[in-house]
Chains A and B, each alone.
Chain A
């Protein structure tokens, strides 16, 4: 089944403890991106990647890192999480073709205390 898989689904952590949220897609998509969703703000892009070893900042990259060593994986790294990073996170991918729609993973709910 074609899908974008994120893990974990739920994560509660403490301020400053490094964490990684994984994202993997099995559709051979070139483009992948991370979003966070907060009430009243909609989805905001954190980072995106046009292809392997090509990453760039989105609208809210502060406090996050990403890597794209393989086409299928695009992990999101929080080196020192803070409470303002408590949010619902979505990974998405799309095939080549700038006008293609995004396919979303099932989300990671992160709480930083």
Chain B
């Protein structure tokens, strides 16, 4: 089983739709969690950190469920510019702190 798993998609949604992605992680020692956005072959850019109580940044909401070991990202009112790959990143303490990346979920917002 992969340490961090994401549905690769693609998710094709119309503009204005609400879309949600999940990411599961296998190691309960995971300490911190992030969502990154990556445009085609460019560097990943931090979208948001994910906090235990859940957090929101404009149209984006992130949730953490430690009991079930998953994090989620909700995007409301999708824009064409939201089209990208969304990477789930988990930082775990396995002796040293290590960032584990999901393979990403591809989102395409259609006009």
- A residues contacting B by CB (< 8 A) are 33, 35, 40-45, 50, 56, 88, 90, 98-99, 101-107, 109
Contact = CB atoms under 8 A, between A and B. Distances in A.
B91 A45 contact: no
Given A98-B97, A99-B31, A106 B43 contact: yes
A102 B101 CA distance: 12
Interface in B54-111: 87, 89, 91, 93, 96-99, 101-104
B93 A98 contact: yes
A104 B93 contact: no
A41 B103 contact: yes
Contacts, number: 47
Contacts of B31: 98-99
A88 B41 contact: yes
Contacts of B98: 45
Please provide the 4 A-B residue pairs with the shortest distance between their CB atoms, ordered closest to farther: A99-B32, A104-B43, A42-B103, A43-B101
B101 A98 contact: no
Given A98-B31, A98-B91, A99-B91, A104 B102 contact: no
A18 B49 CA distance: 38
Interface string B8-26: 0000000000000000000
Contacts of A44: 101
Nearest to A109: B41
Given A99-B91, A101-B49, A90 B102 contact: no
A70 to B, nearest CB: 22
Nearest to B103: A42
Contacts of A106: 42-43
A78 B111 CA distance: 44
